[in-house]
């Protein structure tokens, strides 16, 4: 049994002369929440569309649940649920009727799953209200309910928090966490709200201009984004001894260039500077540093902004 | 495949355009047959019988064609615009089966729309003046034969509309194109046939021409075979063509 739910091998998609995807090697571990980050037109949706079987690659291949052949891939997609770009709803049907259509489409026996899924996303009381009269947030939740129908093992969500109010965003996050932790559902989620992804994802993939720049775990990202005090003094060795002795912490690193990265006291830098000065050290540089996901992403793509 | 047909049927039954068309065609059929009855009575003519109304309604069933074009736009193409086609195509069912199920149910819907006008005409006239008799052929046999042929031709026309709807992938374009196509295809064959003789011959072997022969009282051997075989071939060929197009289509 493959450890990965999804793997892509040199996945390439060319539209005329433009590379929407350029030899993308992506891998999503079973049980993970994979945050897929990229600007508009970076290639996120193209990759999602290929995985979902809506488009075919120009070159390369994908492996879904360990299956590669076209026939097997089609079967493997039965174990998957998705919201691609926007929730796909029949506007003149109620929430129940929308789910019933998809239940029949997927050949899921029994109607019990409809009520269960509607309750899960909080739409059990929508009655005869048609989907076209739903708020954007309700439409997103109904889209999620459709994706969740039949208990999929892999969820693909393209911008699932679009249109949700702050409470809705929190509820969606909690629901996705619950689905991941309690039901073991692997989730691929693309979102522009990077702070939201930061709170949810266990793994990240950064895509830019069709190229997957980096894949890293949340702990790796945490290390890279960790906030610290950047200190440069006239005697790094003595400063290290003072930090260890006076400030009683070993959470620091002396860098080859003689600067010190202190990972404690980030919120109380005054205490550090006073201690070092009292010890007779001359402070040459002293500043808090570190990045959040947004800053890290911006630095990885070279500071480009959406046009 | 069965689940796909069930799903499509569920959607058809809830399709607002289908419901509206059923209502409009039923009302038209009802008013037309009552109007015919009153008109004949006021003119002092013999009242029109059920089988006569049935026969006249079969000649150029434009209600069926217009209804089918509208349904093709709303039932098939709108799924591309609303994005539902994405979730259908990614459901793990093979694309060939998806489009086959869609075509079968759409054909069924077209058959219902195609039958409504003649059936209501026939029923109302029968209630008012009786079913009547046809000279030269068994009336019952004629009724069953024309009913069967109407089903076949509605299905054949539906298969052509399915292909157009799959290619267009947009309701408005599909409705406009199918209407222009079906309503002017005869004119095209007639005009081109004047200059190129084999085009006229080909026209004689198409569902577009044979549709007008459904109501003929006497159908001799080879014409009857042609009347049955050609819509079946059309349905199968256009079904395969739609599947070929849909399999290669990038769904946006």
* Residues A82 and A111 grouped into a single domain: yes
Is B16–A92 a contact, with Cβ atoms under 8 angstroms apart? yes
Q: Is A253 in the B-facing interface, judged by CB distances under 8 Å?
A: no
Residues 89-118 of A with CB under 8 A from B: 89-93, 97, 100-102, 104-107
**Domain around A57:** 4-218
Residues of chain B with pLDDT under 70: 60
Nearest C-alpha in B relative to A91: B82
Å from A71 to nearest chain B CA? 8
Please report which residue ranges of chain B form alpha helices under DSSP H: 2-14, 16-43, 50-58, 62-71, 78-81, 84-89, 95-129, 139-168, 171-195, 197-204, 207-210, 221-248
Return d(Cα B68, Cα B64) in angstroms, integer.
6
Same domain, A140 and A234: no
Last residue of a domain, which of A218, A241, A275? A218
Query: What span, in angstroms and rounded, lies between the C-alpha atoms of A56 and A70?
Result: 10
C-alpha–C-alpha distance, residues A142 and A150, integer Å:
14
CB contacts of B87 in chain A (<8 Å) are 82, 84, 88, 102, 146
Confidence of residue A307 (pLDDT cuts 50, 70, 90): very low
Is there a single domain that holds both residue A21 and residue A161?
A: yes
Chain A residues with CB-CB distance to B90 below 8 A: 52-54, 77, 80, 82, 84
Q: Which residues of B touch A146 (CB under 8 A)?
A: 87
First to last CA, chain A: 43
Kindly list the distances between the CA atom of residue A52 and the CA atoms of A63, B4, B95, in Å, as whole numbers in the listed order: 12, 18, 13
Could you tell me the pLDDT band of residue A304, with boundaries at 50, 70 and 90? Answer: low
Same domain, A50 and A175: yes
Q: Are A37 and A194 in contact (CB under 8 A)?
A: yes
CA nearest neighbour of B115 among B74, B75, B148, B161: B148
Closest CA to A88 of A172, A144, A151: A144
The CATH number given to whatever domain includes residue A190 is 3.40.50.300
Given A218, A251, A275, the domain boundary residue is A218
Shortest distance, CA A304 to any CA of chain B (angstroms): 27
In the structure encoding, which two tokens stand for residue B185, read together?
A: 């295809």
Whether A175 is in a domain gets the answer yes
Search chain B and give the residue with CA nearest A130: B14
Residue B43: domain span: 2-248
Mean pLDDT value across residues A80-98:
89
**Can you read off the two tokens belonging to residue B181?**
């196509």
Say if residues A209 and A24 touch (Cβ distance below 8 Å): no
A136 and A198 share one domain: yes
Q: Are residues A239 and A136 in the same domain?
A: no
Within a domain: A306? no
pLDDT at residue A1, rounded to an integer: 58
What is the mean predicted confidence (pLDDT) over A267-271? 85
User: How many independent structural domains does chain B possess?
Assistant: 1
CB pairs under 8 A between A and B: 82
Interface of A with B in 116-175 (CB under 8 A): 146
A25 and A108 in one domain? yes
Spatial distance between the Cα atoms of B12 and B113, rounded to a whole number of angstroms: 12
Percent of chain A at pLDDT exceeding 70: 97
**Residue A162 with chain B: CB contacts under 8 Å:** none
Closest B-chain CA to A56: B250
Say yes or no: A241 and A273 in one domain: yes
* Phi (first) and psi of residue B212, to 5 degrees: -75, -15
Q: Kindly determine whether residue A88 and residue B82, on different chains, have CB atoms separated by under 8 Å.
A: yes
State how far the Cα of A26 lies from the Cα of A189, in Å rounded to an integer: 14
- CB distance B10–A82 less than 8 Å? no
pLDDT at A306 (0 to 100)? 46
Substitution target in B8, B13, B80, B87 with the highest count of A β-carbons within 10 Å is B87
A74 and A163 share a domain? yes
Q: Is A177 helix (H, G, I), strand (E, B) or coil?
A: helix
Q: In Å, what is the CA distance from A68 to each residue of A6, A108, B247?
A: 10, 25, 18
pLDDT (tens digit, 9 = 90+) per residue, A187-233? 999 877 777 787 888 898 888 888 888 888 887 777 777 778 889 99
Q: Is residue A307 part of a domain?
A: no
Residues A85, B93: C-beta atoms closer than 8 Å: no
For residue A141, name the pLDDT band (cuts at 50, 70, 90): confident
Q: Strand A283-289 to strand A59-64: parallel, antiparallel, or no bridges (unpaired)?
A: unpaired
Q: Taking each helix axis from N to C terminus, what angle separates B2-14 and B95-129, rounded to the nearest 10 degrees?
A: 50
User: A128 and A252, same structural domain?
Assistant: no
Residues 6+ apart with CB under 8 A from A58: A12, A13, A14
Q: Is A305 domain-assigned? A: no
Q: Which residues of B touch A82 (CB under 8 A)?
A: 87, 90
CB contact under 8 A, A101 and B11: yes
Contact yes or no for B10 and A76 at CB 8 A: no
List pLDDT tens digits, range A14-61.
888 888 888 989 999 999 999 988 888 888 888 999 998 888 889 988
Q: Phi first, then psi: give them for residue A130, nearest 5 degrees.
A: -80, 150
Q: Number of folded domains in chain A? A: 2
Q: Quick check: B86 and A52 CB within 8 A?
A: yes
Q: From the CA of B163, how many Å to the nearest CA of chain A?
A: 19
Residue A300 belongs to some domain of the structure = no
Mutation choice for B interface testing from A84, A105, A150, A159 by most B CBs within 10 A: A105
Q: A102 and B91 in contact by Cβ < 8 A?
A: yes
Q: How far is B244 from chain A (nearest CA, A)?
A: 15
Distance from CA of B77 to the nearest CA of A (A): 13
Whether A192 and A242 share a structural domain: no
CB contact under 8 A, B84 and A56: no
- A278 and A211 in a common domain: no
Task: Inform me whether the pLDDT recorded for A305 exceeds 70.
Answer: no
Contacts of A280-287 spanning 24+ positions with Cβ under 8 A: A281/A233, A281/A234, A281/A235, A281/A238, A281/A239, A281/A242, A282/A233, A282/A234, A283/A231, A283/A232, A283/A233, A284/A232, A284/A233, A284/A234, A285/A230, A285/A231, A285/A232, A285/A259, A286/A229, A286/A230, A286/A231, A286/A232, A287/A229, A287/A230
- Cα angle B156-B226-B220, degrees, rounded to a multiple of 5: 135
Would you call A77 and B82 a contact, using CB atoms and an 8 Å cutoff? Answer: no
Structure confidence by residue, pLDDT tens digits, A236-265: 889 999 998 888 888 888 888 888 888 888
For strands A228-233 and A260-262, give the pairing. Answer: antiparallel
- Shortest alpha-carbon distance between residue B104 and chain A (Å): 15
Model confidence at A85, in pLDDT bands (50, 70, 90)? confident
């Amino acid at each position: 049994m493959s450890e990965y739910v999804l793997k892509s091998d040199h996945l390439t998609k060319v539209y005329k002369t433009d590379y929407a995807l350029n030899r993308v090697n992506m891998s999503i571990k079973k049980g993970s929440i994979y945050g897929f980050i990229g600007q508009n037109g970076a290639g996120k949706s193209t990759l999602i569309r290929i995985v979902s079987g809506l488009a075919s690659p120009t070159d390369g291949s994908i492996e879904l649940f360990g299956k590669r052949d076209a026939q097997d891939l089609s079967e493997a997609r039965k174990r998957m649920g998705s919201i691609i770009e926007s929730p796909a709803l029949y506007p003149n049907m109620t929430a129940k009727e929308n789910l019933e259509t998809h239940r029949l489409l997927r050949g899921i026996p029994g109607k019990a799953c409809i009520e269960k899924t509607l309750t899960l996303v909080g739409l059990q009381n929508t009655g005869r209200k048609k989907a076209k009269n739903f708020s954007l947030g309700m439409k997103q939740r109904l889209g999620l309910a459709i994706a969740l129908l039949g208990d999929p093992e892999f969820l693909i969500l393209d911008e699932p928090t679009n249109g949700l109010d702050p409470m809705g965003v929190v509820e969606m996050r909690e629901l996705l966490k619950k689905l991941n932790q309690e039901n073991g559902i692997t989730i691929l989620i693309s979102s522009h709200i990077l702070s939201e992804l930061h709170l949810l994802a266990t793994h990240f993939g950064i895509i830019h201009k069709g190229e997957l720049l980096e894949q890293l775990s949340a702990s790796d990202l945490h290390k890279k984004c960790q906030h610290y005090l950047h200190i440069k003094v006239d005697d790094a060795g003595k400063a290290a001894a003072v930090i260890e002795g006076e400030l009683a912490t070993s959470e620091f690193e002396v860098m080859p260039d003689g600067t010190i990265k202190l990972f404690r006291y980030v919120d109380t830098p005054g205490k550090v500077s006073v201690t070092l000065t009292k010890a007779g050290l001359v402070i040459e540089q002293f500043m808090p540093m570190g990045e959040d996901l947004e800053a890290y992403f911006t630095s990885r793509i070279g500071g480009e902004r959406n046009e | 495949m069965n689940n796909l047909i069930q799903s499509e049927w569920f959607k058809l039954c809830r399709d607002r355009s289908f419901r509206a068309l059923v209502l409009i065609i039923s009302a038209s059929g009802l008013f037309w047959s009552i109007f015919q009855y009153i008109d004949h009575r006021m003119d002092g003519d013999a009242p029109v019988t059920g089988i006569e109304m049935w026969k006249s309604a079969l000649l150029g069933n434009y209600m069926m064609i217009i209804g089918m074009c509208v349904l093709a736009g709303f039932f098939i193409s709108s799924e591309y615009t609303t994005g539902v086609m994405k979730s259908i195509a990614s459901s793990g069912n093979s694309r060939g089966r998806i489009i086959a199920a869609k075509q079968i149910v759409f054909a069924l819907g077209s058959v219902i729309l195609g039958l409504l006008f003649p059936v209501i005409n026939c029923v109302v006239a029968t209630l008012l003046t009786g079913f009547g008799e046809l000279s030269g052929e068994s009336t019952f046999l004629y009724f069953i034969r024309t009913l069967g042929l109407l089903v076949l031709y509605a299905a054949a026309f539906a298969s052509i509309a399915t292909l157009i709807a799959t290619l267009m992938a947009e309701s408005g374009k599909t409705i406009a194109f199918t209407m222009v196509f079906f309503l002017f295809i005869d004119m095209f064959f007639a005009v081109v046939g004047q200059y190129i003789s084999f085009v006229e011959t080909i026209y004689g072997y198409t569902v577009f021409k044979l549709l007008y022969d459904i109501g003929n009282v006497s159908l001799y051997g080879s014409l009857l075979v042609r009347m049955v075989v050609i819509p079946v071939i059309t349905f199968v060929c256009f079904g395969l063509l739609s599947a070929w197009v849909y399999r290669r289509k990038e769904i946006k």
